[in-house]
A and B are shown apart, each in its own frame.
Chain A
Amino acid sequence: MRFLLLFSRQGKLRLQKWFTPITEREKKKIIRDMTTLVLARQPRSCNFLQWKDLKIIYKRYASLYFCLAVENQENELLALEVIHRYVELLDKYFGNVCELDIIFNFEKAYFILDEFLMGGEIQETSKQMVNRCIEASDMLQEVRSTHIKSNNGLKSEF
């Protein structure tokens, strides 16, 4: 995998993860390309695009687009399930996750992603394992609670 981007329907970037070193300028260009490309897609199109020499796999969950770029020989359907597994992990952690969770707890979204993917490859495909790791690290943290959240969860797929 080369990169993973999460952005809203308005094109606001919510999370970016780059698995190969890229300059900031290049990143900005890619983000712009991806948002315009993906947001312009008709509903019920297929989830795959060819972009330069990469395959783009994207999927919309509620208000958020998940957009993953992989090398040409990678398996598209499984990349789609990488996205889904990540959503499941977020959901398990936040409980009916929504865009606001990711905005306000962006660092957690990154931590969860890091337990799941590493260096552009899947690290742990077992949901239980990932959750156990995250829970274990949470045990090490002081318990506090903050904001109130809305109810429209990401799990509603498009």
Chain B
Amino acid sequence: MPAVSKGDGMRGLAVFISDIRNCKSKEAEVKRINKELANIRSKFKGDKALDGYSKKKYVCKLLFIFLLGHDIDFGHMEAVNLLSSNKYTEKQIGYLFISVLVNSNSDLIRLINNAIKNDLASRNPTFMNLALHCIANVGSREMAEAFASEIPRILVAGDSMDSVKQSAALCLLRLNRTSPDLVPMEEWTARVVHLLNDQHLGVVTAATSLIITLAQKSPDDFKTSVSLAVTRLSRIVTSASIDLQDYTYYFVAAPWLSVKLLRLLQCYPPPEDTALRSRLTECLETILNKAQEPPKSKKVQHSNARNAVLLEAIALIIHHDSEPTLLVRACNQLGQFLQHRETNLRYLALESMCTLASSEFSHEAVKTHIETVISALKTERDVSVRQRAVDLLYAMCDRSNARQIVAEMLGYLETADYSIREEIVLKVAILAEKYAVDYTWYVDTILNLIRIAGDHVSEEVWYRVIQIVINRDDVQGYAAKTVFEALQAPACHENLVKVGGYILGEFGNLIAGDPRSSPLVQFNLLHSKFHLCSVPTRALLLSAYIKFINLFPEVKATIQDVLRSDSQLRNADVELQQRAVEYLRLSCIASADILATVLEEMPPFPERESSILAKLKKKKGSGKLPENVNGNAELHAEEPAAANKASPPPPTEVLALNPTPPAAAHSLLVDVFSDLSAPTAVAEDHLSRFVCKNNGVLYESQLLQVGLKSEYRQNLGRIYVFYGNKTSSSFLSFSSWVSSSDVLKTQLNVHAKAVEPVIEGGAQVQQVLNIECVTDFSDVPVLNVQFRYAGTLQNIEVKLPVMLNKFFQPTEMTSQDFFQRWKQLGAPQQEVQKIFKAQHPMETDAAKAKLLGFGVALLEGVDPNPANFVGAGIIHSKSAQVGCLLRLEPNTHAQMYRLTLRTSRDSVSQRLCQLLSEQF
């Protein structure tokens, strides 16, 4: 067939393109382009009116120049003129130019909209399609405003041509993604769903795309599409391939439509109607069966299309997660693909299995493929496939196979591509911690990580190992011995020096009995690394030295000599110099007792969510493409950087000198880790965190942060809720309200002030909640947050920390009064007692801080045993005031507490006991 004999060649354009192609250098090209631009400009400015053909040719040249990557600042007007031409080719070029070059230049948009309006009204399907394409391509708000009400009408009109319906459906989809608020679908819903029954498969395909988008936003409105989709799908999978004529693609019946229908069904749970459900199961079984049939063609297109449908069906099976037989079949099918000769299929099988691994029905079945996945890690030539294998190993890991998987990942790390090393390091660190039965294994694993990929071990990882060693005394001696041995290596990574310095500084005494690791040997070993390290590490080592002075008086003189040397005392770095001076002075003047107090062993860290997990989540989420033009790209780029700046503390501060009890939860030391571990998902125990405090971050995801500040006086409270948009695009239709159970509604009044429906990217808005306690209560109200982000509706529910103890007023009283009242409240139902195991280290100051935060006054000198705590307070509610007395008896030997509460109302006693006992 002779090429390009059709259509209209534009000779001038072809010549120009040839010229450009013949240019020998970039300069020559620019010169030729400038010449052409000057020519076109003069033609456009000339007195002689240009005919349509010339205008089209010049506009087309400008387009070509633009697509080469040069700026074009004129010609827009001529392009707009072409839109109203009667000649199709001129109109077409005009629309192409507008689609490619116009974003939202407001004075032009009005003219363009005018031309579009005329074409939409023309009833000429070709013109209507051009106009609809232009709207979909530009998709600006102005266009949405102008046409959002018109397009649904075209879509469902009985006399619209099929091709116009298809364009209208997709055009609507596009507008719905960019300006959902402007596209009201309510009155069209039923008719749009009905398009799934259309005769024309092209129309059904386009309509399904539209319905998927709409159903993701308001699933309830489009629920009726489920049965239609199942029917349609079943007709396709059972059809003979010729039935669908040109919609059969390489012997596969309508693959695009099938996949879209399967996607639509993934917006919903499995159908409740049993007949419908079994019909769907039949469809899925048919698809799985077809995979076992011999291929109808050797072409890769055939197998691709067939497997595309198969994998989408598997995705639906995994999404429903309800039919164990189907899940197991899906898993077996993916298992076959794991060993397929097509790299693409191996990649996809690894990817799908990751989601399958999280289903309880199929987790065990996935685990049976572990050897295949490990060999993929070792033998795949393609890094993207290996990356997927790492992801799958991570997903299938549990206590039974953790050691094997961690060992394999560590092995792979030695040769892994640099681009994915950091992620593997994080994954290994998380798995090692999560599944450690024996913490010596954990310590070995982390030290191995540092040895193999020290550069990729982030601060979070080595902070975490220190945190764990400090909290578990069973592993401290082993850790000291192991780091000591690791430090013997002639070249070791600076991260190892940090961990080594810290651990020996704390627990070096545990191995000092062995002459091979005597205090002096330990010190010399550490100091031999000193000069090769960066300033923060040196600072950390200096702190380790002063700790040595306390642990081992016999090396005091040696260390003092080191501190006294000019390279320390006169170090150019202020931090190092200051540490050297202060530590030297401290070691000279302080008595052994004072030294021992100041340099006491670090107290345990409070238990928290692993900060590494937060980091991995953050890593996964970074680098989103901005959804709209206004969404500033830089904002996105800066986000992780800013977060990094804020979160990790300066490394020099990790080894703080005074053992600060964890009670002072605001101190720098303890917060070292808490900033990092801001829960990325709703933390299970977040409520209990707020029992004894009123402010903090209630919820945090990649999109949104919700913070609280609350004040209470008597039976009234006010909570300021802060909603921070962490993204660079706006949250639309934002609303938030508080819901309570029916019982709670009668006990607690919550009034929420309305908030603005839009939160700009990066902005924060505040909502005020007024609260009144009517009578004592034990339920918890729920804060509901809803908004649209990037087209999808986000729903968040968080328990709002309003508990009975918030309405406490502390009461001071004498010992005599206390005991008198205590006796008065002696009725059996008034007293509630609970004996429980300590969840946190049993520190006096910590307990005091918690009781004060709980709201009672602490009464000193009341209890004959000074280790016990007693407190008193009054709970204020609108209906009554309830006096409360409490006593907390710690038993450090057994690591237990006994908590006794006496109040005049049994429901109050019970609730308060429950709340408080979870705090220790």
Contacts and interface: CB of A to CB of B under 8 A. Distances in A.
Interface of A: 2, 13, 16, 20-23, 25-26, 28, 42, 44-50, 52-54, 73, 75-78, 80-81, 84-85, 93-96, 101, 103-108, 110-111, 114, 118-129, 133, 135-138, 140-147, 149
B333 to A, nearest CB: 14
B902 interface: no
Nearest to A69: B625
Contacts of A138: 6-7
A126 B253 CA distance: 12
Given A46-B346, A50-B387, A125-B247, A118 B133 contact: yes
B414 interface: no
Given A81-B308, A122-B256, A140-B126, A50 B384 contact: yes
Nearest to A144: B9
A120 to B, nearest CB: 7
B311 interface: yes
Contacts of A141: 6-8, 88-89
Interface stretch (B63-71, B403-411, B524-532, B883-891): B63-71
B290 interface: no
A107 B97 CA distance: 10
Given A50-B384, A141-B89, A147-B14, A121 B170 contact: yes
B219 interface: no
Interface of B: 1-9, 11, 14, 17-18, 21, 60, 63-64, 67, 69, 87-89, 92-93, 96, 100, 103, 126, 129, 132-133, 136-140, 163, 166-167, 170-171, 173-174, 177-178, 201-202, 205-206, 209, 245-247, 249, 254-257, 259, 263, 301, 304-305, 307-308, 311-312, 343-344, 346-348, 381-382, 384-385, 387, 621-629, 633
A59 to B, nearest CB: 10
A78 B256 contact: yes
A121 B307 contact: no
Contacts of A103: 17, 21
Given A48-B384, A127-B246, 11 more contacts: A25-B633, A28-B69, A45-B343, A50-B384, A80-B344, A114-B133, A140-B87, A142-B8, A143-B8, A147-B9, A149-B3
Contacts of B246: 126-129
B202 A95 contact: no
A73 B139 CA distance: 23
A147 B170 contact: no
A57 to B, nearest CB: 10
B308 A119 contact: no
A124 B633 contact: no
B88 A118 contact: no
A78 B126 contact: no
Contacts of B621: 53
B703 to A, nearest CB: 13
B305 A140 contact: no
A122 B209 contact: yes
Contacts of B69: 13, 28
A84 B300 CA distance: 11
A75 B629 CA distance: 26
Given A28-B69, A106-B64, A77 B304 contact: yes
B4 A94 contact: yes
B92 A143 contact: no
B9 A145 contact: yes
B205 A122 contact: yes
Contacts of B21: 103
Contacts of A45: 343, 381-382, 384
Contacts of B6: 93, 135, 138, 141, 143
A9 to B, nearest CB: 16
Nearest to A118: B170
A152 B86 CA distance: 38
A80 B103 CA distance: 29
Contacts of A94: 3-4
B113 to A, nearest CB: 17
Contact of B304 (A81, A129, A140): A81
B382 A106 contact: no
Given A107-B60, A147-B14, A123 B257 contact: no
Contacts of A80: 304, 344
Contacts of B301: 81, 84
B4 A22 contact: no
Contact of A104 (B17, B67, B263): B17
Given A23-B633, A75-B308, A81-B249, A121 B173 contact: yes
15 contacts: A44-B343, A45-B343, A48-B344, A49-B384, A75-B259, A119-B136, A119-B139, A121-B209, A122-B209, A122-B256, A124-B163, A125-B256, A126-B247, A128-B246, A137-B88
A95 B170 contact: no
Task: Name the residue in A52, A110, A124 with the highest tally of chain B Cβ atoms < 10 Å from its Cβ.
Answer: A124
Contact of A23 (B67, B177, B304, B629): B629
B67 A106 contact: yes
Contacts of B257: 125
B7 A129 contact: no
Contacts of A111: 92, 96
B174 A120 contact: yes
Q: Which of A85, A105, A119, A120 has the most CB of B within 10 A?
A: A119
A75 to B, nearest CB: 5
Contacts of B67: 13, 16, 106
B914 to A, nearest CB: 42
Nearest to B305: A81
Contacts of A77: 304-305, 307-308, 311, 344, 348
A21 B629 contact: yes
Contacts of B205: 122, 124-125
Contacts of A96: 3
Contacts of B163: 124, 129, 133
Contacts of A28: 69
Contacts of B7: 105, 108, 138, 141, 143-144
A118 B249 contact: no
Contacts of B623: 52-53
Contacts of B64: 106
Given A94-B3, A106-B64, A129 B136 contact: no
B90 to A, nearest CB: 10
A94 to B, nearest CB: 5
A128 B163 CA distance: 13
A-B CB proximity, top 3 nearest: A52-B623, A119-B174, A146-B9
A122 B171 CA distance: 12
Contacts of A118: 132-133, 136, 166-167, 170-171, 174
A52 B625 contact: yes
Contacts of A104: 4, 14, 17
A74 to B, nearest CB: 9
